[in-house]
A and B are shown apart, each in its own frame.
Chain A
Amino acid sequence: MARSPVAARKAPARQTRLLIATRKGLWSLASDVSRNGWKLSGPQFLGHVVHHAIADPRAPRVHLAAARTGHLGPTIFRSSDSGRTWKEAQHPPAFAHGSGRVVDHTFWLTPGHADEPGVFYAGTSPQGLFRSNDAGATWEGIDGFNAHPQRKAWCGGDQEGTPDGPKLHSILVDRRDPKHLYIGMSGGGVFESIDGGADWRPLNRGVRADFLPEPTPEYGHDPHCVRFAGGNPDRLYQQNHCGIYRLDRPGETWQEIGTSMPKSVGSIGLPLVVHPQDPDSLWVLPMDGTTVWPRTAPGGRPAVYRSRDGGKSWKRQDQGLPRSQAWWTVKRQAMTSDFRDPTGIYFGTTSGEVWGSRDEGRSFRCFARHLPEIYALECATT
């Protein structure tokens, strides 16, 4: 595939803003220049289930929010003034009439390539892939995935999957080539397209699927979160249902990198965050994946684990976090980093707290409490 030189990142911005998508609406946290003071604002869409809200790095005043309510079907709201006002999409993601499939909610939003302004991708529950060419006003299904003859084999039935429904997530666009895409599916695994989504193939070699009769299948895995390494789109990291993995392309086999995590903590979690420039640096937030899968901080003692060597070793980071009786769950979209130096690390809990570090995880503070269940946290740098 054609690749162009990688552009350097822009200079650090002056303010960090976090978009907080929750089960009951959308809030935001804005920092001062030092990232020491934070101001909470909201709610918007009070009562709506907001699964994801993002800012467009190509046009920072453009925000998208994927929402539904308990009663009403899914839609997408768009803002062109940094979230002050919103308009509803004219044609939200919806499967083809006659396909028999119904979008329950849009789960994941990803801005398109820098050379394709106005392009966005959406992943839905059940697993569906959609594209907008007009900044989210109208959405069309990507038939290369949604109508792929193997899709049902890859994904299973629309009623299978995670407790809140099977999901297509982690839509990644190679910054060197807009036609080179990756997706993650719970369940289904990681898949790659090199033709803009016209065709897909599984990319799961080396990843365990201990919950299946065949523990190393071609597909059917449960990636929780997949990210490009910062500064190196030939490297992928994956927090999976069965551990933490790294893939260095053009290699095809994932390497398990969670084995050096402390045995008492394990290597199960939902989110994964990368350093924006250092391809060897990433953070995970482990949860209890034993027995009946509590999905809470192991032992009630939450901690972030950072690796600075591509997953060979991990360091516990818990300064400022509760020492005991903190049974947090952090969802796969609810942890993010900013583009400042040093990098800020932020996460939101299902118990409605936002915690952050402005020094790459060395110390954490609580920035907000008493919010609804946090579904997603994204950084909008202004």
Chain B
Amino acid sequence: MTAQSSPEVATVVRVRIPSPLRSYTGAAEVGVAVPLLAPELPPTIGGVLATIDGAYPGLRFRIVDEQGGIRPHIRLFVGNVATRDLGTPIASGEVLMIVAALSGG
């Protein structure tokens, strides 16, 4: 499934969803079409999360707080590279992996 249409004016990325968030998506992986504002402005993971929240309302707030910070036990990877910056660019065909990382009882 894809969270946005019009792929000709959008960058399509895949997002891997951890089990705590699958009550929103119903799937372990979703496709997200992020609208392209301009060729020189690549989409960011912040844009991906905003788009995915439109399709699955409430999901973003569970992993990004009201000040735009990634919540403490959430990790984001673009490909194999970890990031905590919502401004990190992401290219068409890349995979954003959301990891819910927590130990304890």
A71 at the interface (CB under 8 A from B): yes
Which one of B58, B64, B66, B104 contacts A70 once the chains associate, using CB atoms below 8 Å? B104
Contact at A71–B66, with CB atoms within 8 Å?
Answer: no
B57 at the interface (CB under 8 A from A): yes
Neighbouring A residues of B68 by C-beta, 8 Å: 97
Cα–Cα distance between A69 and B63 once the two chains are bound (Å): 11
Binds B, one of A87-95, A202-210, A260-268: A87-95
Contact at B67–A71, with CB atoms within 8 Å?
Answer: no
B55 at the interface (CB under 8 A from A): no
Cα–Cα distance between A102 and B65 once the two chains are bound (Å): 6
B1 at the interface (CB under 8 A from A): no
Neighbouring B residues of A95 by C-beta, 8 Å: 66-67
A75 at the interface (CB under 8 A from B): yes
Q: Which 9 A-B pairs rank lowest in CB-CB distance, beginning with the nearest?
A: A71-B100, A94-B66, A72-B62, A102-B65, A71-B73, A70-B102, A73-B62, A71-B20, A88-B58
With A73-B62, A75-B62 as contacts: A90 and B57 at CB distance below 8 Å: yes
Secondary structure dominating the interface of B = loop
A37 at the interface (CB under 8 A from B): no
Cα–Cα distance between A73 and B100 once the two chains are bound (Å): 11
Total chain B interface residues with beta-carbon distance under 8 A: 21
Given A75-B62, A98-B67, 10 further pairs, Cβ under 8 A: A69-B20, A70-B104, A71-B100, A73-B62, A75-B61, A88-B58, A89-B58, A90-B58, A95-B66, A102-B66
A213 at the interface (CB under 8 A from B): no
User: How would residues 53 to 96 of chain A score, 1 for a CB under 8 Å from any chain B CB and 0 otherwise?
Assistant: 00000000000000001111101000000000000111010111
Cα–Cα distance between A369 and B54 once the two chains are bound (Å): 42
A103 at the interface (CB under 8 A from B): yes
Contact at B21–A72, with CB atoms within 8 Å?
Answer: yes
A163 at the interface (CB under 8 A from B): no
Which one of B21, B58, B66, B101 contacts A75 once the chains associate, using CB atoms below 8 Å? B58
Cα–Cα distance between A92 and B21 once the two chains are bound (Å): 16
Sampled A-B contacts (16; CB under 8 Å): A69-B20, A70-B102, A71-B100, A72-B62, A72-B71, A73-B61, A73-B62, A73-B71, A75-B61, A94-B61, A94-B66, A95-B66, A100-B67, A102-B65, A102-B69, A103-B66
Neighbouring A residues of B69 by C-beta, 8 Å: 102
Contact at A97–B66, with CB atoms within 8 Å?
Answer: yes
With A88-B58, A90-B57, A90-B58 as contacts: A73 and B21 at CB distance below 8 Å: no
Residue in A70, A89, A100 whose Cβ sees the most chain B Cβ within 10 Å = A70
